[in-house]
A and B are shown apart, each in its own frame.
Chain A
Amino acid sequence: MSSQNGGETLLRVEGVRKYFPIKKGILIQREVARVHAVDGVSLEVKAGETIGLVGESGCGKSTLGRCIVRLHELTDGSISFEGRDISRLSRRELQPMRRQMQMVFQDPYASLNPRKRVGTIIADPLRIHGMGDRSEVRRRVSELLELVGLSPEHINRYPHEFSGGQRQRIGVARALALHPKLIIADEPVSALDVSIQAQVINLLDDLQDDLHLTYVFIAHDLGVVRHVSDRIAVMYLGKIVEISPAEELYQRPIHPYTEALLSAVPIPDPELSARRERIVLEGDVPSPITPPSGCRFHPRCRYATEICAQEEPPLVPHGGKGHMAACHHPLDANPTPTADASPGPADG
C-alpha cells in the first residue's frame, strides 16, 4: 500500500500484556492458571502506514488487535493514541477516542447483526456519537455504501441478502462511518474466497489513499500481508519475534520462525517450488498457559542451543531500516547495533 513512512507516531503500544485467567470453582471462583495471550508486546505505528501482524492461530495477534481498541482490558502495559494514554481511560473518557479507531472483523457472517437492516448497521455508529440529524445520517450512509462499492439502493436490505464479500464491504463501511484515523483489520479476508479477497484488499488499499487511513492488518497468511504492508511484525506465542520493512522480511528473514513461515508460502512456479527447501516445524505450538522458558520458539527451532532454553533473547536491531529480531542465533546476521541503524520503529 502507500509507503509514506516517517509520518508521526499515531499509535504506540508499550509492553502490553494480556493474560486470560482460567477459573475454577462453583460459587467462589479462584484463578488456577493464566493464558498468556499477549506477553509484552511493544510496537509503534506511524500515521499513514500499514503494519502487518502475522503469526499462527493462537499467537495473540487478534488479542493484541482487540486490546488496541479496548475490547479487552490490558493486564499490563500501555497503549497511547496520538500521544495520549488510552489504556486506563474509563468508558466515558474513551468515547471520543472510539471515533478515531475502528475495527474490521474476520467473519463477515458473525460481524453483522442479522436482525438489522444494512442502513441501520452503518448508521448505528453515527447515532451513538450523535453525528447529524436523520437526513444527514441517511445521506452519509448512502455515501459510505457508495464508497465501498455497494449500491445505495441496498440500504433497506438485511445482511443475509448479501454475499460474503459484500458483507465485508458493509463491515468496512461501518468502520469508516466515524472518520477514524486507525483501522484494525482482524483477518479481514481470511473468510473470503480467493477471488473476493483481492477485491476487498484493493478496496482497503484505495480507501487508505483517499482517506489517509492507518492500518493494523492482522493475518495468518504472509502472502496477503506482503501485498498490503509497509512493515510486518511476526508474532509467536504472545511475543513479537521479528519486525521489519515488508520486502526486507521476505528477502532476509532473521528469525528461524519467520524463515519457516516464509517457506510455507506457496510459490506459483512448480519448478521453483520444488527446488525450495520447505521447513516443516515439528510439534505443536506450546500451550500459552505454560509457555516455554527462554526463547519461546526453542522447542521447535532447528538451531536451538542451550542458551535458548535459558535466556530470553531481546528484540534487537539487525541491520538498518528498522529490521529487528529476537533470536540468539539470527540467520543471515550482520548485526549493526547502532552504527547505521535508523532508530528502530519498535523498541523492544
Chain B
Amino acid sequence: MAEVAALEHVEPASPGGPEVAGRSPWALAGRRLLRNRFAIGGLILLLVIIAISFAAPLYADHVAHTNPFENNLNGHTIVNGKRVALMQQGGGILHLGETPLGPTWDVHHYFLGADQNGRDVASRVLYGGRSSLEVGIGSALICCIIATVLALLAGFNGGLIDVVLSRLMDVIWAFPVILLAICVATVLLNAPDGVGVGPVRITATSLWLPTLIIAFIYLPYVYRPVRGQVLSVSEKEFVEAAIAQGASGSRLLFSEVLPNVITVVIVLFPLMIATTILTEATLSFLSIGVQPPNASWGTVISDGQQLLYTRPWVAIAPGILIVLTVLALNLLGDGVRDALDPRARLRIEG
C-alpha cells in the first residue's frame, strides 16, 4: 500500500537537504478534489447560485425596481414599449377570472412575470433562494455540529451516555422524516408568541424555526455514521499509544480521535445541505416551512401551483434552481467523498 502511495507523489528524496515538507492528508485530498472536474463544476455552479441568490436585494432595488413582498394587484408594467396591466382578465385556459402577467423575458420588467398577488416572480425566486440556502446550509451546519458533538460524547465515553444518546437518536430515526418535520413544525408554528428558551425567542416568521426543525430531524442521520467512526478510531493502536504515554482524555479526544472523525462529517456535509434544502422546500410548499413575508423556493412553487396551467414558469423557475442546487451539491459531495474517502485511502494509510 505504501508503494501505491509512493507512486502517487513521485518525489526525489533529498538526503542531507533541508527539512522535507510533508504532504498532509488534507493537502492530498484537496489536490484530488481539484483534479475532479465534476466536483469542481458542481462547486462553481453552487457558488453561482449562492451569488445570484444573495444578490436578490440588488436585483429587486436596482434592476427590477419592485418590492417583491408587496401586493401589486393594480400595478402596470411595460412590455415592448406598451403599458400592460399586471393582472389580466380572463387570460387563462377557461378565459375566466384574473391571470397574472406571464414572463416578459425582460430583466427590468417582470422577467418571469407576476404571481397571483402581482409580485415580481424573478425577484421572489432570488429572495427565495436566499432563504432556502440560508435554511439549508444553516440547518445542515447546526445538525452536523450537534450530531458530531453528541457522537463524540457517546462513542468516546461509552457506557450510559452512549446508551441514552443512541436510543434517543433511534427514537428520532424511527419517525418518517417528513412526518416528524410536519408534526414538529405544526406544533411550533401555532405556539402563541413563538418558541423560546429563556431570553431567546423565535417568532413563527423567523427563518430560525425551519432551520432548527430541519437540523433536529436529521440529527440521527449524521450521528450514526460519526459515532461509528468514533468507535472504530478509538480502537486504533495510535489511541492506545497515546493512552500509554499518559495523554489526558481531552487530548485523546481532540488530538487523536477528532481529526480522524471529521472527514466523515466533511463528506456528509454537502450531501446534508442537498437533503435539507429539499426538506425545506417540501415544508415550505406545505406552508409549514418558511413563513410570509419571507419567500423560499418552496413557497414560490406553492404560489405557482394554482397557476400551473396558465403561468407554469412561476413553479418551474424555483424548481429548476432547486434541481441545479441539489445536483451541484451532490457532485461536490461525491467529489469530496472520493477525495477524502475514509473507506479506501484512509483505512489503507491510517
**Which of A's residues lie within 8 Å of B, judged by CB?**
26-27, 66, 69, 71, 94-95, 98-99, 102-103, 105-107, 109-118, 124-125, 128-129, 151-164, 171, 174, 178
Contacts and interface: CB of A to CB of B under 8 A. Distances in A.
Contacts of B199: none
Contact of A158 (B15, B25, B240, B245): B25
A158 B348 CA distance: 14
B190 interface: no
B344 interface: no
B22 A157 contact: yes
B297 to A, nearest CB: 38
A163 B350 contact: no
A117 B244 contact: no
A128 B245 contact: yes
A103 B241 contact: yes
B240 A103 contact: yes
A151 B19 CA distance: 9
A111 B238 contact: yes
Given A27-B167, A105-B237, A111-B238, A161 B247 contact: no
The CB with the most chain A CB atoms within 10 A, among B19, B167, B237, is that of B237
B257 to A, nearest CB: 9
Nearest to B247: A128
A160 B163 CA distance: 35
B238 to A, nearest CB: 4
Contacts, number: 113
B259 interface: yes
Contact of A114 (B242, B248, B350): B350
Contact of A124 (B1, B2, B247): B247
Contacts of B238: 110-113
B349 A160 contact: yes
B237 A110 contact: yes
A105 B241 contact: yes
Contacts of A161: 5-6, 22-23
Given A111-B236, A160-B5, 17 more contacts: A26-B163, A27-B167, A71-B240, A71-B243, A95-B246, A102-B244, A103-B240, A111-B237, A111-B240, A112-B238, A114-B349, A116-B255, A116-B259, A153-B15, A153-B17, A155-B19, A174-B245
B22 A105 contact: no
Given A95-B246, A128-B246, A155-B19, A111 B1 contact: no
Given A153-B18, A155-B19, A115 B259 contact: yes
8 contacts: A113-B256, A116-B255, A125-B246, A152-B19, A153-B17, A160-B25, A161-B5, A178-B245
Nearest to B246: A98
Nearest to A101: B244
Nearest to B167: A27
A156 B21 contact: yes
